[in-house]
Amino acid sequence: MDITSALFLLIGSFLCLSGGVGILRFPDFYTRMHAAGVTDTLATAMILIGLMLQSPDALVVIKLIIILLMTLFISPTASHALASAAIHNNLKPVLENKKDNE
């Protein structure tokens, strides 16, 4: 039990850190949003599953499942809202072709 929980926590922390590095180093808003949105949801899922395996109480496990379900609903929706608001206000993504032509 402890080893699988520690494994999930480790994977979750690694994904979280890679998302953080991505949000600093990617060149454009849309690529950063890709890093933030994907790693956010997956890291949350991994860490919450790791915590679930560690707790003895049934009520705590149910609350963790509720947080997990809510995050699975909320996080992609927020990314979608952000991206569609950005497109709506004419923030253009940087396309690779321009740099090749120059």
Partner 1 sequence: MKDLFAVIMLAGIYSLLSASFFVAMDAVDVAFTEASVGAGISTLLMLVAITMTGRSEDPVRHKPILALVVVVITGSLLIYGTLDMPYFGSVDAPVHQHVAPQYINDSMQKVGMPNIVTSVLASYRGFDTFGEVVVIFTAGIGVLALLSVARRPGDIAEIDSLNKTMHEEFLILRIVAKMLIPFILLFALYVQFHGDFGPGGGFQAGVIFAAAIILYTMLFGMSTARRVINQSVIQLFAAIGVLVYGSVGVISLLEGKHFLDYSALSADPVAGQHIGILLIELGVGITVASVMIIIFFNFAGRENSQQSQENNES
Partner 2 sequence: MLIAATIAILVVMIMSILRAVLGPTFYDRILAVNMIGTKTVLLISLLGFVMGRPEFLDIAIVYALINFISVIGVLHYSDSSVFKRSNEHKK
Residue listed under structure tokens 């940087």: 94
Residue 24 binds partner 2 (CB under 8 A): yes
Q: How far apart are the first and last CA of the chain?
A: 56
Question: In this structure, are residues 19 and 39 in contact, taking their beta carbons and an 8 Å threshold?
Answer: yes
Query: Is residue 14 near partner 1 by the rule CB under 8 A?
Result: no
From the list 11-19, 33-41, 70-78, 94-102, the region that binds partner 1 by CB under 8 A is: 70-78
Residue type at 27?
Answer: P
Please tell me the distance from the alpha carbon of residue 91 to that of residue 89, in angstroms, as a whole number: 6
Compute the half-sphere exposure of residue 39: CA atoms within 13 Å on the CB side of its CA. 19
For partner 1, the binding residue among 7, 62, 70, 94 (CB under 8 A) is 70
Site for partner 2 contains 9 (CB under 8 A): yes
Least distance between partner 1 and beta carbon 5 (Å):
22
Instruction: Give me the residues that bind partner 1 (CB under 8 A), please.
Output: 70, 73-74, 77, 80-81, 84, 88
